[in-house]
Every structure is written in C-alpha cells, then in structure tokens.
Chain A
C-alpha cells in the first residue's frame, strides 16, 4: 500500500515555485505591452518585478529542508541527469531565480537602490543602474518562468507508477494554474494600492486571468474524461477525487471556490466593460477577494495532486 512520502512542504514548494513563475511571466508580459509608445501596464510590470524572486526563494529553501540529507543538496548541482525532472528543475530554478533577482534590481527605484547599498555598507560603485536591461531580462525570463511552471507538473507527471499523475495534462494544468496565481497576486497588489484603482491595469489582469482560468478548466475536464476512459488503474485513481478522501477538496475547494467562483466574478467585472464600454466597478475589496480565491485554488490544486497522486497505484 502506498504511503505519503512528499508532504505539505512539497505542496508549499510547488505552489511557491509556480507562483513566482506566474508573477514573473505576467510582469514580463506587461513590460512588453505598450500603448501610444508608453508602457501600458507599468505598475503591473514593476510590482511583478519586485515580488517575483521571493516566493521561489522561500520555496527552494523549503525544498532543501525537506531533503533527508539537506546538507548534501549541492549534489544536485554536481550531477546533471537529463532524464530526471528534478535534476532539470533544480537547474531551471537556479537560472530563473538569478534572472528574477537581477530583474528586481533593474526595477528597483534609484533611491531604494542607494538606501540598500548604504544599509549593507557597500562601496557606492555597487549601485549599478540596470534599468535599461528590463526588456532584455523579461525576454530571458519568459522561457525560464514557463519552464519552472511546467516542471512543477512534469515532476509529478513523469512518475509512471502513479496513475493519478502519469498524464501530460498535469504539466499543462500546473502551468496555467501557476500563471493564474501569479496574475492573482498582482490583482491583490493592485487592489492594495492606496491611490484609486487603475481600471485599465486591473482590466488587463482580469482579462488575462479569465483566459488562464478557462484554459485550466478545459484541462481539468479532459483530465477527468480521459481518466475515466483509460485503463482500470487510472479509473481507480480518479476515485480519490470522485467519492474518495479528496473529493471535497477537489470539487468544492478547488473547482468551486478556487476556479469557477473567481472566474464568474471576473467575467461579471469585465463583461459589461467589454460589451458596452461601461467602466469597471472599481471595487478594491472585490479585486482583493478574487485574488485570494485564485491563490487559494492554486494551493488546493497542488495539495490534492501531491497527496492523491501518492495514494494511487497499479494493482
């Protein structure tokens, strides 16, 4: 009988890794989008750049502490095993975190940079101005952020012994969920801004998130249909979320509260603006609520997949 080897630390790590990747991706996208020769979503790009490196850094620390011999973690970087998703993922994490950190520095306002250098008592010539690198860093980070987000799903999907995981749909699901949670963090960040909500930027995030959640939904549906039409072991493994111990978590907490509810709220916000040009509701509370729901859904998704997957097995 299978038992749980990967616990809540791994759930947190997969969530945080995906979150950073999502934040970076949306921020990089915003860096490139222009309107009348001006950055159309400058605030999204800046907030994203400020936040992107930290969740993945915390997640990587959790990953290291979850190791049985954490002091030997450097062995991950002594060997490269192209057939092991964990080996490829470790390298992706390093490069992604480095790019996200340099990007953070590039977006840091000059006075903050100066204060940071002074705080660390570093010589002033460390105060490099990298702001001209922003677009280059965004371009470099696109494939890395997508790679990190996909790899968190491939890590599970590559295990052919666990029928709940062993499908390419898990990687896609984790990718779009990661991008959606990144979007949600930025919605949350915009909603906390003291000034009036910027309707254009919020509408951009809502629209992007509607696309991402819809993609996610149409991956979950074929995941369930194909699973039911697959071999007995896969059908049996789906019982874990169709009447088994993870049913409530999957259907109510993930599908209901974490996926369809925020989708409905976002459509309710954006649809009138799209159809008749009426402005958004400009409701900070609602924006924050939507952000929290999406983030919660992303976390529950990883929780259900990490746990249920380990309990699935071939008979």
Chain B
C-alpha cells in the first residue's frame, strides 16, 4: 500500500459535458439530489463565429498536503498512505472548517446527516481493484486514474508526453488532478 499514490489525469479536450461522471458518482455513492461530489466547469469565450466552449471536470484533488486534513479538529478528515483523502463520518462534528479551508470547494455539508462529504475516489471500488465510477463511465475516456508512482503506468506515460497544468498550486496544497492541455 504505502508505495502507491493514486492520482487522476483529465484530458479536458475530450470532455463533452455529458455529465455521465456526475450521474455515475451519484449512483455509486448515493449522493442525494442537491449535492454533488463532482461537477463540470464550463467556460465560454469569444463571439460568434469565433467561439470556444471548454469543459473541465472537477472534484476533490486528493492533495499531497491537504489543508482540509490539517484544519480538522477531530481527525475525522484523514489521508491514507495511498493519497486518498477520506472523512470518517463517526468523528465528523460538522464544524465545516474543512469546507471553508478547501481551495477547490470540493467539500459540502450534508444538512440531513450533519456531516461533511466529498469525492472518495470511490475507495470501495479502488480497494477491489476497480476504477472509480466516474472514470469507468466516461464515454470519451477523458479520465485516467491510477498509481502516479508507477514508472510504467498510464499516468506517467501521459504526463511525460503531454503538457499539463494543476489548479491553484499556489495554495501549497499539492493537488493531484492533472489537467492535460
């Protein structure tokens, strides 16, 4: 386990804004309507006929130095050795400090349960050797999930051959979603 580090590479050019990932996440993780663990940012630029519509999926970045874990007063937010950031609901008191501290607004407060939730990289599936639901369902294969420390893995291959960017690296969180450009 400790020599693994899960990360996500997203080829935003392949994203069609079909939102299958959002639906798959909702179904897999029983996320009620009104909340979302993942979403798609839309950007429209220019005027007709020179138009650009760009789509960029986003969710928890499972940062290497997650500010949400640091500020959590009870240790409910924690990071596994493989990099996945999780919330132990039994210890979450619903103070929402982590929601405020996340630069990506990836966390939300469940009014009905009184606890905070977010993307878990579908840890229940990953531990069975499967892909997260959003990755498996993406029809245009915009999402690639895997172990970023594996030198022969798909992630290293993509990051070595394509330009990529990270979101808001200046916060020092060390985000682990790589956007290919």
Residues of A within 8 A of B (CB): 1-3, 5-6, 66-70, 72-73, 75-76, 78-79, 81, 83-87, 90, 155, 158-162, 231, 233, 310, 313-315
In the bound assembly, the distance between CA atoms of A2 and B105 in angstroms comes to: 7
B83 to chain A, nearest CB (A): 18
B150 at the interface (CB under 8 A from A): no
Chain B residue contacts of A84, Cβ below 8 A: 70-73, 97
A246 to chain B, nearest CB (A): 17
Chain B: CB-nearest residue to A161 = B103
- In the complex the two chains form, is A1's CB within 8 Å of B93's CB? no
B101 at the interface (CB under 8 A from A): yes
Q: Can you show 12 pairs from A to B with CB atoms below 8 A apart?
A: A5-B100, A67-B95, A68-B93, A68-B116, A72-B93, A75-B91, A79-B73, A79-B74, A160-B172, A162-B100, A162-B101, A310-B100
Chain B residue contacts of A66, Cβ below 8 A: 95
If over half of A's interface residues share one DSSP class (helix, strand or loop), that class is named, otherwise mixed; here it is loop
Q: With A75-B91, A86-B73, A161-B102 known to touch, is A314 a contact of B96 (CB < 8 Å)?
A: no
- In the complex the two chains form, is B93's CB within 8 Å of A73's CB? yes
- In the complex the two chains form, is B74's CB within 8 Å of A159's CB? no
B171 at the interface (CB under 8 A from A): yes
In the bound assembly, the distance between CA atoms of A76 and B94 in angstroms comes to: 11
Chain B residue contacts of A73, Cβ below 8 A: 93
Chain B residue contacts of A162, Cβ below 8 A: 100-101
Partner of B170, one of A69, A83, A86, A314: A314
B138 at the interface (CB under 8 A from A): no
Q: With A161-B171, A314-B171 known to touch, is A68 a contact of B100 (CB < 8 Å)?
A: no
Work out how many contacts link A and B, with CB atoms closer than 8 A. Answer: 101
Extra inter-chain contacts (4) besides given A68-B110, A68-B116, A72-B94, CB under 8 Å: A5-B100, A5-B109, A67-B95, A68-B95
Which size bracket describes the interface of B in this complex? 20 to 34
In the bound assembly, the distance between CA atoms of A13 and B18 in angstroms comes to: 44
Chain A residue contacts of B171, Cβ below 8 A: 160-161, 314
B94 to chain A, nearest CB (A): 2
In the bound assembly, the distance between CA atoms of A199 and B94 in angstroms comes to: 49
If over half of B's interface residues share one DSSP class (helix, strand or loop), that class is named, otherwise mixed; here it is loop
Chain A residue contacts of B74, Cβ below 8 A: 75-76, 78-79, 81, 87
Partner of B73, one of A1, A87, A313: A87
Chain B residue contacts of A85, Cβ below 8 A: 71
- In the complex the two chains form, is A81's CB within 8 Å of B73's CB? yes
Contact with A along B73-92 (1 / 0, CB 8 A): 11110000000000000011
B141 at the interface (CB under 8 A from A): no
In the bound assembly, the distance between CA atoms of A69 and B171 in angstroms comes to: 29
B122 at the interface (CB under 8 A from A): no
In the bound assembly, the distance between CA atoms of A36 and B85 in angstroms comes to: 63
- In the complex the two chains form, is A75's CB within 8 Å of B71's CB? no
B153 at the interface (CB under 8 A from A): no
B23 at the interface (CB under 8 A from A): no
B153 to chain A, nearest CB (A): 30
| Chain B CB within 10 Å, residue with most, of A73, A76, A81 | A81
A255 to chain B, nearest CB (A): 25
In the bound assembly, the distance between CA atoms of A79 and B110 in angstroms comes to: 23
Chain A: CB-nearest residue to B97 = A86
Chain A residue contacts of B67, Cβ below 8 A: 159-161
Partner of B75, one of A79, A155, A158: A79
Q: With A159-B67, A314-B171 known to touch, is A69 a contact of B94 (CB < 8 Å)?
A: yes
A170 to chain B, nearest CB (A): 14
In the bound assembly, the distance between CA atoms of A81 and B70 in angstroms comes to: 8
In the bound assembly, the distance between CA atoms of A70 and B94 in angstroms comes to: 8
